[in-house]
Amino acid sequence: MSKSAFTGPLERIDPCCVRIPSWYKQGMRVPGLLFVDENLLDQCRKDNAPDQVANVACLPGIQKASIAMPDIHWGYGFCIGGVAATDPEEGGVICPGGIGYDINCGVRLVRTNLTLDEVKPRMRELVKALFQQIPTGAGQSGSFVFTEKELKELMARGASYCVGRGWGVSHDLEVTESNGCIPDAEPDYVSDRAISRGKDQCGTLGSGNHFLEVQVVDHVFDPEVGKVFGLELGQIVVLIHSGSRGLGYQVCEDYLVLFRDMPKKYGFEIPDRQLASAPANSPEGRRYIGAMRAAANFGFCNRQLLMHQARQVFAKIFQRSWQDLGMSMLYDVAHNIAKLEEHSVDGVKKKLWVHRKGATRAFPAGHPEVPEVYRSVGQPVIIPGDMGRASWVLVGLPGSMERSFGTTCHGAGRAMSRTAAVARASGEKVVKELEARGVIAMSQSKRGLAEEQPQAYKNVDEVVEVVHGAGLSARVARLRPLGVIKG
Amino acid sequence: MYEFLEHTADLGLRAFAPSLAELFSEMGHCLMAALLDNPSEIHARQRFRLEITGTNPEDLLFDFLREVLYRFESEKFLSNRFEVQLHPQGLTADIHGESFDPARHVLSHEVKAITYHELRVVQEGSQWLAEVIVDI
């Protein structure tokens, strides 16, 4: 299944963007737009991901363009890094593949008032304590177990449910995308199977590329915005990357099965079964949307409980309350989700279903959905990189509204397959290589660590350069990892 | 016979077998090898019966694998023997195995889901071939 290189047309529009013309493939309703520079273009040609951008351009009701971010790589159905907006008034579809199995996979960044000098001597102890407290790895149960009734309330109310039970404070909600609750979630449309997978998984990290990292701010590019975000050089922060766990995976699967026959029922064609979709305004489409929103709310709660546990560990290790340690949240943002948002298409304002599959919302200054505390500068965007090099904090720019439905990249993007990464270096070797860089890593799975090694990813700095250059989001600060826990 | 396939972000499973029933069994083993570093440590202590209706071999394989995965996700049930019988209405499988034991079983990947992406079940000469990508 290794992919042949993409040989179709890629027309350069500017140094950061190329176009796949809509004549490339029969059925394309709009062109494809890829935000890549010359260097990343070569990489993204290699795994044929641009062909998936063209497939998405065939979805009914798609507006303007099928878009891909510079961290693009081959996915299933949608490429990773894909963005598509559909108009429900024009038969626009909702596509579970455009959201992914891990509904509301996302990132949360927590500040501290600790400095590198204070944390460095205790790093191993801290990472070990985090690893012991926070459940990681495949199918792990957490210490929070919910009844079906509680879980349904949690899915309806989102992160405010956790805050109500004392696992956080109201400020956490103010700085979470959609305040940690997507309205009109329908927990009753979430299957018994999904509920049974989710009942003991809220507050667990999971496996794959999910992680919790202790990082240090090692470069501030925009001190003014950095000040508004509460970031300064040498400061310790905590970055959490996880999603809706087994509950979300099951919701996606349930509806992909239900949607198998929708193209036939509603009379449209799709070029790949993994792009199974239903009109957003159809009964089936509305049902999926209700369940997807419920799973997204579970995702916000998962990251809320992960942060709660991290705060407890820091308090124990440093013998001060988390409030004393300044562990207030900077922001929480999803990168696998679809949301109904207002965007301008050819000068007309429309309510569109914006699908972000490995892509991050990046609203500019002044947008009403940016938390008040950040509204003068723009929405914080958190970009997890790999565990050896860096992660980034960016800020949304007006260019994102003009070019990419208010969206920017979501990470480094993989450059190497899992099997190739394992062949390059074993888990043990990766731990040693990371230690040489000053990073302490602990993982349940040595193989998982090998698969996720820094060399398996593109250089996140290059990805960020493209979205900065394209005017989608601007650099604020670069974060360097010090300690990593993984599944 | 089964093997893993290269895939940028996820993992591909591939199996070959002389019959469709054996192909399903091989794919079951391949899924276990994706979940566990030491699948040879799974012993047949319990069993359950799976009934799947349908005629399209690809849909049958998809449904078969997602049921096996669901048993692991919900009950931590690992399998080491898949006795698959195909019939005109679908398939019946007696699946043997045991519950996950952290003292003996070493987890490898968290398989989030079986995907339809490039799902293939085909007959090539005297061999059956299946390919499926699982989301990691």
Tell whether the torsion through CA atoms of A425, A430, A436 and A439 is positive or negative.
positive
Would you state the structure tokens that stand for residue A327, as one six-digit string?
A: 């562990």
CATH class label, B2-135: alpha beta
Q: Token pair for residue A248?
A: 């979300």
**Inside any domain, residue A179:** yes
Q: Is residue B104's pLDDT more than 50?
A: yes
- Does the structure show a pLDDT above 60 at A202? yes
Among candidate residues A156, A199, A171, the one with its CA nearest the CA of residue A296: A156
Whether residue A46 lies within 8 A of chain B, CB to CB, comes out as no
**pLDDT of the residue at A288:** 98
pLDDT at B6: 77
Tally of structural domains, chain A: 1
Q: Is B125 exposed, middle or buried (0-12, 13-18, 19+ CB in 10 A)?
A: exposed
Q: What residues of A are labeled active site?
A: 410
**Residues B23 and B134 sit within 8 Å (Cβ to Cβ):** no
What per-residue confidence (pLDDT) applies to A46? Answer: 86
Hey, are the CB atoms on A76 and B133 less than 8 Å from each other? yes
CATH number at residue A376: 3.90.1860.10
Give me the pLDDT at residue A139, please: 59
**% chain A with pLDDT above 70:** 99
Q: What confidence category does residue B118 fall into, taking pLDDT thresholds of 50, 70 and 90?
A: confident
Which among B14, B76, B115 has the least Cβ separation from residue A274? Answer: B115
Spatial distance between the Cα atoms of A193 and A473, rounded to a whole number of angstroms: 39
Print the domain residue range for A181.
11-415+457-486
Chain-wide mean pLDDT for chain A?
A: 95
Tell me A5's DSSP state: P
pLDDT of amino acid B7: 74
Residues of B in contact with A249 (CB under 8 A): 112-113, 135
Residue A69 lies in a domain: yes
| Residue A116 belongs to some domain of the structure | yes
Mean pLDDT of A380-398: 96
Three-state secondary-structure class, residue B121: strand
Say if A419 is an interface residue toward chain B (CB within 8 Å).
Answer: yes
B116 with A274: Cβ contact below 8 A: yes
**B→A interface, C-beta within 8 Å:** 4-12, 14, 35, 37, 59, 66, 70, 72-74, 76, 100, 107-119, 131, 133, 135-136
Read off the pLDDT band of A347 (50, 70, 90): very high
Q: How many residues does chain B have?
A: 136
**pLDDT tens sequence across A287-335:** 999 999 999 999 999 999 999 999 999 999 999 999 999 999 999 999 9
Residues of chain A contacting residue B136, judged by C-beta atoms under 8 Å apart: 207-208, 418
Most distant pair of Cα atoms in chain A: their distance? 64
pLDDT at position A273 over 90: no
Helix (H) or strand (E) holding A124: helix A123-133
Confidence class for position B89, pLDDT limits 50, 70, 90: very high
Cα distance between residue A70 and residue A151, in whole Å: 37
Of B11, B76, B107, the CB nearest to A418: B11
| pLDDT value, residue B86 | 95
Contact list in B for residue A196 (CB cut-off 8 A) is 74
| Top-ranked range on mean pLDDT: pick from A177-181, B33-37, B73-77 | A177-181
d(CA A250, CA B113): 8
Residue of A nearest to B113 (CA): A249
Shortest CB distance from A139 goes to which of B14, B76, B136? B76
Q: Is residue A421 part of a domain?
A: no
Tell me if B110 and A206 make a contact (CB, 8 A cut-off). yes
Neighbours of A192 (CB within 10 A): 9
* Cβ distance of A197 and B74 shorter than 8 Å: yes
Nearest residue of A to residue B72 by CA position?
A139
- Kindly report the CA angle at A385 between A81 and A403, in degrees rounded to 5? 35
With 60 as the cut, is the pLDDT of residue A1 above it?
Answer: no
- Measure the CA–CA gap between B79 and B99, rounded to whole angstroms: 9
Which chain B residue has the Cα nearest residue A139? B73
Tell me the per-residue pLDDT of A57-103, one tens digit each, with 9 for 90 and over. Answer: 999 999 999 999 999 998 888 999 999 999 999 999 999 999 999 99
- Residue A270 touches partner B, C-beta closer than 8 Å: no
Say whether residue A74 is in contact with chain B using an 8 A CB cutoff: yes
Average pLDDT over residues A468-480: 98
- Read off the pLDDT of residues A416-428 as tens digits, 9 standing for 90 and up: 888 889 889 999 9
What are the residue boundaries of the structural domains of chain B, listed by start?
Answer: 2-135
Structure tokens at A6: 């993409």
Task: Suggest the residue from A73, A99, A101 to mutate for an interface test with chain B (most B CBs closer than 10 A).
Answer: A101
Does residue A443 belong to any structural domain of this protein?
A: no
CB contact under 8 A, A139 and B37: no
Instruction: Residue A250: list chain B partners with CB under 8 A.
Output: 70, 73
In this model, does residue A163 exceed pLDDT 70?
Answer: yes
Q: What is the pLDDT of residue A48?
A: 87
pLDDT of residue A3: 64
How many beta-carbon pairs under 8 angstroms link A with B?
Answer: 111
Q: In this complex, do A139 and B115 lie within 8 Å of one another by their Cβ atoms?
A: no
Specify whether the CB–CB gap between A419 and A351 falls below 8 A: no
Q: CB–CB of B72 and A249 under 8 A?
A: no
The answer to whether A424 faces chain B, any CB pair under 8 Å, is no
Q: Does A43 touch chain B (CB under 8 A)?
A: no
For residue B75, the model assigns a pLDDT of 87
